């Protein structure tokens, strides 16, 4: 439910994008701040960063079903995929707004506003932990189990343990390339 709710909010926000803003020439200071905020845009995507770490470091273990019988591998993969998609969509929206910024203040205000949207799932999780959804008994129990259950570290060759850093840098390079293209169009 929360995943779909966030997607709907991001959809409504993306419908407000001003495609003509990409044609407006902007000042050098704004371009500098845009460039400096690219790694920040990636780093503040908690779901995306957590997915990078998950890909690099964690593997599913059937032993988890001893404590939580419903925690099947396909549910874990689905939940992990949704978390990655959530972070990716959030990053795309954040980056689009970064590219549209024509002044520094609006750029920072957009980042602050998006932090709220990005944290909606954490807010709902916290509410579930505190029992606010007690009409759905399994929600509170599942949330509590999620805070204590741990999956084992991956046993990969050394390079795989660096995959989270590789993914971060790869996303950064792609975003810089897109930013350079937008700056070139504007000038």
Residue 73 CA to chain centroid, in angstroms?
A: 22
User: pTM, whole model, 2 decimals?
Assistant: 0.82
- Name the average pLDDT for the chain: 85
* pLDDT tens, position by position, 163-177: 889 999 999 999 999
Distance between CA atoms of residues 137 and 95, nearest Å: 38
Whether the predicted pLDDT of 184 surpasses 90: no
Whether the predicted pLDDT of 58 surpasses 90: no
Percent of the chain residues past pLDDT 90, beyond the cut: 33
Distance between first and last Cα of the chain: 43
Q: What are phi and psi of 153, to 5 degrees?
A: -70, 150
Interval 88-100 mean pLDDT? 92
Give me 8's structure tokens.
């709907």
* pLDDT tens, position by position, 62-81: 888 888 787 888 888 898 89
Q: What is the pLDDT of residue 22?
A: 61
* Continuous segment of H or E residues that includes residue 107: helix 104-118
Closest C-alpha among 87, 80, 55, 76 to residue 161: 55
Distance between CA atoms of residues 91 and 44, nearest Å: 9
Least confident of 9-13, 79-83, 148-152: 148-152
Whether the predicted pLDDT of 35 surpasses 80: yes
Interval 12-32 mean pLDDT? 79
Q: What is the pLDDT of residue 174?
A: 97
Q: Scanning the structure block, which residue is given the tokens 């350079």?
A: 180
Instruction: Give ∠ CA 104-38-169 in degrees, rounded to 5.
Output: 170
Give 60's pLDDT tier (boundaries 50, 70, 90): confident
Give the CA count within 13 Å in the CB-facing half-sphere of 184: 6
Q: What is the pLDDT of residue 122?
A: 84
3-state DSSP percent of the chain in helix, strand and coil, to 5: 75, 0, 20
Q: What is the pLDDT of residue 162?
A: 84
């Amino acid at each position: 439910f929360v995943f779909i709710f966030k997607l709907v909010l991001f959809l409504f926000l993306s419908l407000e994008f001003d495609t003509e803003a990409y044609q407006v020439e902007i000042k050098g200071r704004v371009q500098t701040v845009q460039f400096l905020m690219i790694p920040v845009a990636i780093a503040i995507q908690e779901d995306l960063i957590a997915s990078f770490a998950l890909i690099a470091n964690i593997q599913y273990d059937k032993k988890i079903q001893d404590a939580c019988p419903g925690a099947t591998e396909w549910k874990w993969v689905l939940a992990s995929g949704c978390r990655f998609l959530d972070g990716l969509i959030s990053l795309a929206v954040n980056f689009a707004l970064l590219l549209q910024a024509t002044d520094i203040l609006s750029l920072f205000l957009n980042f602050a506003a998006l932090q709220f949207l990005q944290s909606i799932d954490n807010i709902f999780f916290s509410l579930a932990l505190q029992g606010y959804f007690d009409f759905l008994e399994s929600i509170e129990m599942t949330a509590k189990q999620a805070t204590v259950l741990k999956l084992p570290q991956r046993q990969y060759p050394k390079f795989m343990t660096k995959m989270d850093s590789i993914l971060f840098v790869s996303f950064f390079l792609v975003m810089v390339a897109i930013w350079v293209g937008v700056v070139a169009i504007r000038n």
